[in-house]
Homo-oligomer: A and B are copies of this chain.
Amino acid sequence: MSQDFASRLFDAIDRVGNPAMVGLDPRLDHLPEPFKSAAQQGVEAAAQALVDYHCALLDVLADKVAVVKPQAAFFETLGAPGFQALARAVEHAKERGLLVVMDAKRGDIGSTSAAYAQAFLSGEVFPASDALTVNPYLGEDACEPFVRACAEHQTGLFILVKTSNPGASLFQDHGEPPLADRVAEAVVRWGEMVPHQSWSSIGAVVGATRPDELAHFRRQMPKVPLLLPGFGFQGGGAEGLDVAFDAKGHGAVVNSSRGVLWAHEREDLQHLADWQERTAVAVDEMVEALRAVQGARA
C-alpha cells in the first residue's frame, strides 16, 4: 500500500465511477440458496457456507463497486469459525481489488485500542483491512492508538459521529453544541496526525437517513471522507447526498447492505435466473442513483 487511505479510496472510486459501498452483513436465514441450506448443517458448515457465499458475492461486486464493508457482528455469531470466515472474506475482497472497511466499531482504553488496531489494521495475523470503524465514546487517548496505526500502516478510520439508527440522537445530540459536533471537531484534529494528500485518512460515519444534517457535518469536516450508511433498507435515498461530494465526485462512500444482500428475495426480480443476477441488478440500481448524485456536483 503505497498511498494514504483516502487517496486509495478515491482513486478506486474513480476507477469504478461510483461511490457505492456494499455492506457484508450475512444473516444466515437470508442467504441465497444453496448457502442457506448448507448453513443449517452445524457451525463449521455455516462458516464454510459464509466463505463460499462471500467469494461468489465478491465476484459479482468486484467490477461494479470499489469498497465493501464486512460487519464483524454477523461473523462473530459463529464464534471462531465465523471469525475465520471473516478473514477469508477480507482476503478474497482484496484479491479482487476491493477496498475493505471493517465495520467492527471498536474502541477501548488506550492500550486495548492499540490491540484492536493491531488486530484489524496491521495485517500481522488477520488480513489487514484498509479502514476500520471506531466508536469514540472513550475519548481522545482511546482513539489515538487507532490514529497512530493509520499513520503506520497507511490505513484509515471511520469514526462514529452521527449514526443512522432512529435512537442516535439520545446521546449524540446531547449538549450544546451537540456531542456529535464535538466528535466531528476531534475527527478533523486526528486527521492532521496522519500524513495525507487532499483528503484526511480519518473519516466519519454520518447517518444518511437525515440529509439536512449531512450538509451540517460536511461544513464541520470539509476534507473528511464520510461513510454514509443506511442507503436503501434503513430508509435513506439518494436525495440530499450530493452535499457530501466535491466537483470531482470525491468525499463520501454510500453504503447499502440489506438492499443488495437481500435482492435475491425481491418479488420483482424473480424472473431472473439466479441470485447473482438479482444482486447485480440491485447493485446497478444503487450505482445509477449514486452516479447521478455524485455527478450533480461536477
The residues of A with any CB-CB pair to B shorter than 8 Å are 25, 27, 43, 71, 73-74, 76-84, 87, 105-110, 112-113, 115-116, 118-120, 124-126, 135-142, 160, 163-172, 174-176, 179, 182-183, 186, 234
CB–CB B79/A126 < 8 A: yes
Q: Is A80 touching B77 in the complex (CB atoms < 8 A)?
A: no
- Count of this chain's copies in the oligomeric assembly: 2
Q: Nearest Cβ in chain B — how far from A79, in angstroms?
A: 4
Please give 18 more A-B residue pairs, beta carbons under 8 A apart, in addition to A73-B119, A77-B115. A73-B112, A74-B112, A76-B120, A79-B119, A79-B125, A80-B84, A80-B87, A109-B164, A135-B135, A135-B137, A137-B137, A138-B160, A138-B163, A140-B170, A142-B163, A171-B179, A174-B175, A174-B179
Asked if B108 contacts A73 (CB within 8 A), the reply is yes
**A76–B76 alpha-carbon span in the complex (Å):** 11
Residue among A119, A124, A136 with the highest chain B CB neighbour number at 10 A:
A119
Which residues of B sit under 8 angstroms from A79, Cβ to Cβ? 83-84, 87, 119, 125-126
A165–B135 CB distance below 8 A: no
Task: Report whether A107 and B135 are in contact in the complex, using a CB–CB cutoff of 8 Å.
Answer: yes
Q: With A and B bound together, what is the CA distance between A186 and B170 in angstroms?
A: 10
A172 to B73, CA, bound (A): 25
6 closest A-B pairs by CB: A175-B175, A139-B167, A141-B167, A80-B84, A73-B115, A139-B170
Question: In angstroms, how far is the closest chain B Cβ from the Cβ of A120?
Answer: 8
Q: Is the pair B105, A107 in contact by a Cβ cutoff of 8 Å? A: yes
Nearest residue, chain B, Cβ from A169: B139
* Contacts A/B (CB < 8 Å), 16 sampled: A27-B115, A71-B115, A74-B115, A76-B115, A77-B115, A79-B119, A79-B125, A109-B163, A135-B137, A137-B160, A137-B172, A138-B163, A138-B165, A138-B172, A170-B186, A175-B179
